[in-house]
Amino acid sequence: MFPSLVIRDYHNKNGFEYKALFMDVYSSVVPYVFVGLIVLMMIWSVFKNYKNKLVWILVITFLFDVLVHCILKFGLHTSYIYGGHFVFVYPLLIGWLFYSYRDKSFAVSLFYGLLLIITVYLGINNFYRMSEFYQFIETYYK
């Protein structure tokens, strides 16, 4: 999920001036709720499927990446490069959550509704932020 963008004036040592674009922190509570719901569903999946060895393989993989990237702080500034190491864990753990509730139609419907809301919000947010980015490109780098 893309945050808002901040534009700053920069220049190199040769006097070339240009506009730089930086991602800002989230400006409202909604993106934090979004991330919190995803993490809550992942944790819920681990507790619901704690006897499943395949789930624990995913958990160990994810925790190793948390250790490397969050605790040791390796690659924080280039997270888009290292995201492939752990980004597959989210949908797989959420899938295991769906699998654990496969006999309870109300819970599965609730999960589908929650995922629909999350997906629509993600799509709208990313579309808006990408349009901001393209507007920046059109304005300053034409």
Question: What digits encode the pLDDT tens for the residues 49-99?
Answer: 999 999 999 999 999 988 888 888 787 777 667 777 778 999 999 999 999
Closest CA to 89 of 128, 120, 123, 58: 58
Helix (H) and strand (E) counts in the chain: 5, 2
Tell me what the mean pLDDT of segment 101-128 comes to.
93
Q: What's the chain's length in residues?
A: 142
Q: What interhelical angle do 30-48 and 105-140 show, nearest 10? A: 140
Going by pLDDT thresholds of 50, 70 and 90, the confidence category of residue 31 is: confident
Contact, 22 vs 3, CB < 8 A? no
Residue 72 to residue 49: CA distance in whole angstroms: 29
Contact, 27 vs 6, CB < 8 A? no
What is the pTM (predicted TM-score) of this model?
0.78
Residue 48 CB neighbour total at 10 angstroms: 16
